Amino acid sequence: MLELRNLSVRYGAAAAVRDLSLSLHPGTIGSIIGSNGAGKSTTLRTISGLVRPSAGEIWFDGERIDRLDATAIVARGIAHVPEGRRVFPDLTVEENLRIGGYLRRDRVALKRDFDEICSEFPRLVERRQQTARTLSGGEQQMLAIGRAIMSGPRLILMDEPSMGLSPIMVATMTQIIQRINRSGKTVLLVEQNANVALSICDHALVLEQGRLVLSGTGAELKDNEHVRVAYIGI
């Protein structure tokens, strides 16, 4: 479904991602782990068209997309749940969700997705008319995920969904990601919480200073000594 071919990204003279290649198959959960500054978020932002690569190619369902703008990429079926949630704080929960479906014209499917989000996130229904700024961190993360689903994606990019959440909320968010995947959506997950990411992903990559240093199944990387010491802390 998604293929990065020798992707490189620079911010001025600084190289953020260096010669990165990856493949993500439909219906799977892929994960990218690494420390701060490793290039994880930049990789997602480049896939979604917010950052232009300096070299390499990005392919989605057989089409090259690295030359498209972000709006066209959303229309192709890729949604991005950004780091820090980035909800619209002065709009209501319902308004935030409906903005996610702005590009869609399939009203029947749009209503179906809205109803499914309400079923998946009953707390958002309870706070439907509240402004997003009044929600807790976990509720804002649910809202950001719901807004992404409203765009009708086949692939969802999630950047640090567990950041700043309590352990109980992290467990809840993990279950939500798995349910989204079981509903038929492919997920590419960026996480500093390597234990969470590797526990639920089918395939994982480790980035260090913008370079791919390890790849394998989640189970394989959880058993890797370097990953255990550097990222899991055991």
Average pLDDT over residues 168-179: 90
Domains in the chain, CATH or no CATH each = 2-84+148-232 (3.40.50.300)
* pLDDT of res. 234: 65
Predicted TM-score (pTM) above 0.85: yes
pLDDT band at 84 (very low <50, low <70, confident <90, very high): confident
Q: Do residues 10 and 2 touch, judged by C-beta distance below 8 A? A: no
* Alpha-carbon distances, residue 111 vs 51, 97, 98 (angstroms): 32, 11, 10
* pLDDT of res. 175: 92
* pLDDT of res. 85: 79
Q: Do residues 69 and 49 touch, judged by C-beta distance below 8 A? A: yes
Fill in the amino acid letter for 77.
Answer: G
Helices of type H across 92-191: 93-100, 107-120, 122-126, 137-149, 167-182
pLDDT for 10 beyond 90: yes
Average pLDDT over residues 74-83: 94
pLDDT for 102 beyond 90: no
What's the mean per-residue pLDDT of the chain?
A: 92
| Residue 81 token pair | 């749940």
pLDDT in tens, 209-226: 999 999 999 999 999 999
